[in-house]
A = this chain, B = another copy of it.
Amino acid sequence: MDSPLGLRLKSLGVQAEDLDVFLQAVQRRVFVAAHANVIREGDVAKQVKVVLAGTACSYRRKEDGSRSILSFHHPGDFCDLHRYVLSDLERGIGIEALTPCTVAVIDYQNMDQLLSRPALASAFWRASMLEVALYRERLSSAGRGSAIERVAHLLCEQLARREAVGIHAPQLPFSQIDIADAVGLSVVHVNRTIQTLRMQNVLSEVKRAIEVVDRKTLARIAKFDSRYLDMPKLLSKWAVQVERAGD
């Protein structure tokens, strides 16, 4: 099983029967057009959604109407586990497809069953911890750091996360507006920043697209340390853990 979701689950330490059970649960699918909402802000959800293909983002709208992007969702990512776990919390967060997306739908009732399997429950926990790590990392990059550093960091993170699920293309499906909303800079300045990166031959000159040419330099600019996404290493401990649980 080499689908992004399969890779993702394996990287979280889900194996054999548990993997099958989970993959059974994501048979029901929905297709979402680019720029459409996967979940509208304020919706009450009764299912958990998982991105199978395409790229989405979760965002919040501020009172002044501006959008802040909280995170991107690549294939294999859960969109709204937080709603399932913390119910009412997180109303006000919407999810939008950036490209056409295929999304799997899991009823809460079904989730309950999945969670009764310890291996899956702990995998979900690990996924949440990883999300914490992402935010933590983003915070230290976004809090301080120049514009170029922030943008570079964002791109590095997304590339790394996509690679983790087998997507090695150097293009990222973001508009400059998306990037601006994600890193908290103005569109104008994001534009200038990207031009700088293009001039340094870090991004390609291809217009209307974000294509990373020089990954190494990008990482240097971003001060990006990919260790925090390196699942194999992260699981060094859990390989043991999981086996023990299977005894």
Spell out A's residues near B (CB within 8 Å).
Answer: 60, 62-63, 66, 68, 70-71, 81-82, 85-91, 112, 115, 118, 121-122, 124-126, 128-133, 135-136, 138-140, 142-144, 183-184, 223, 227-228, 230, 233-238, 241, 244
Contact = CB atoms under 8 A, between A and B. Distances in A.
Contact of A129 (B82, B140, B238): B82
A74 B20 CA distance: 41
Contacts of A71: 136
Nearest to A60: B140
A68 B140 contact: yes
Nearest to A138: B139
Given A121-B122, A122-B115, A228-B90, A85 B129 contact: yes
Contact of A85 (B89, B125, B183): B125
Contacts of A118: 118, 121
A230 to B, nearest CB: 8
A143 B142 contact: yes
Could you say how many copies of this chain the assembly holds? 2
A181 to B, nearest CB: 9
A112 B60 contact: no
A53 B216 CA distance: 45
The 3 closest A-B pairs by CB, nearest first: A143-B184, A135-B135, A87-B237
A237 B81 CA distance: 14
Given A68-B140, A135-B136, A139-B135, A81 B129 contact: yes
A48 to B, nearest CB: 13
12 contacts: A71-B136, A82-B132, A86-B133, A87-B234, A87-B238, A89-B230, A89-B233, A90-B133, A112-B244, A118-B121, A132-B135, A142-B184
